[in-house]
Amino acid sequence: MNRIVPFFKKWQNVLKGLLFLSILVLVLMELSRMGKTISPAAVGQILRRLSFLQVASLFLCGLLSVSPMMLYDYVLTKELQKQIRPGKLIENSWTINSLNNLIGFAGLVDVGLRYSYFSEKDREGETMKGISRVIPYFMSGLSVYSFLSLFLVIFAPGNRVLYPYLIVLLLASLILPALLFVSSRKKISFFGNLHAHRVRALICASLLDWGCVTLFFFSIGRILGYPVSILNIAPLFLISICIGMVSMIPGSLGSFDLMMISGLLHFSINQNEAASWLLLFRIFYYIIPFFIGLIFFLKSMGKQINDKFQGLPQKMAALLGQGISH
């Protein structure tokens, strides 16, 4: 780590440029993939079954279910002792989390954008340490809910089909104890030494985050009129999320979809109904927030390019706009 920090300091501007370029390429690849896997006709057919109020509720609840992730970056800025306007923090955090939800790419978006947005000159090393201390706790809520889901799988009616996946929930439930153990090691500067009140804040934020997304997924099924119980859906959803994460597929959508459809079939939801459920979840939790984040990302990238060339691109665009208007 002592060698990595000086390297980041020396090549900071180049690395930030490469990061933004890499993310832009990943965004284009993701847009291409979405165009091939999502049928506008299928989306329209599902949405026509819903009232305007139901669609509006899904839109609003989808945005609200993504919003708790911004608490992570609020805690991060406190850990870094960085002053940032609330509006700017919301914009940066939404960009990071919405793009990371769909693209991921082994943490490139998650870590890279946080470093780019929150690092300060001559404090790059502290920024990397702060990020490395905070990010692992994003999974703490999943760990707690996985532990609770162990009991749901064992004792709730109808969950016998999930018995083979108890090991998945057990392993996920060990994440938080492992984090607490590592963070208590005073000699570990990059993954430890996080103050207790920061740990509590991150755990609460993560509980809110994972609780909201689980409830949102369940609420989609209810809006579609499917007779499902949260006692069955919650453990299935968490198991599917864990399997999707391990698969390293962007947005966890491939393995997640397969596991969810397989599980929903056992809960009297046919394949077409399950596909509709998952498609709405993908649209309102992943895709719509992603496009909002993409707008913020392009705005930020444009500002960086403009600053790099001392405002010349903005002046040229203004002159071009005047020429077109005349």
Please report where in the chains the tokens 């057919």 appear, as a residue: 45
Query: Mapping DSSP to helix (H, G, I), strand (E, B) and coil, where does residue 159 land?
Result: coil
Q: How far apart are CA 112 and CA 254, in angstroms?
A: 24
pTM: 0.85
Q: Specify the pLDDT at position 89.
A: 94
Q: Specify the pLDDT at position 306.
A: 59
- pLDDT tens, residue by residue, 101-152: 887 655 677 888 888 888 876 666 788 888 888 999 999 999 999 999 999 9
Q: Specify the pLDDT at position 302.
A: 75
Q: Which residue blocks in the chain are alpha helix, DSSP H?
A: 4-10, 12-37, 40-48, 52-66, 70-80, 86-102, 108-118, 124-134, 140-155, 166-173, 175-183, 196-223, 230-247, 253-266, 271-281, 288-308, 312-325
Q: Specify the pLDDT at position 251.
A: 46
Would you say 261 and 278 are in contact if contact means Cβ atoms under 8 Å apart? yes
Q: Specify the pLDDT at position 85.
A: 92
Largest CA distance in the chain: 73
Would you say 119 and 184 are in contact if contact means Cβ atoms under 8 Å apart? no
Q: What token pair was written down for 155? A: 């004792």
pLDDT digit of tens for each residue in the chain (326 aa)? 455 555 555 555 666 667 677 777 777 777 777 677 677 887 888 889 999 999 999 999 999 999 999 999 999 999 988 889 999 999 999 999 998 888 765 567 788 888 888 887 666 678 888 888 899 999 999 999 999 999 999 999 999 999 999 999 999 999 999 988 887 776 666 666 788 899 999 999 999 999 999 999 999 999 999 999 999 999 999 999 998 887 655 444 578 888 999 999 999 899 889 999 999 999 999 999 999 999 998 887 777 665 655 555 555 555 555 555 55
Q: How far apart are CA 273 and CA 77, in angstroms?
A: 42
Q: Specify the pLDDT at position 252.
A: 46
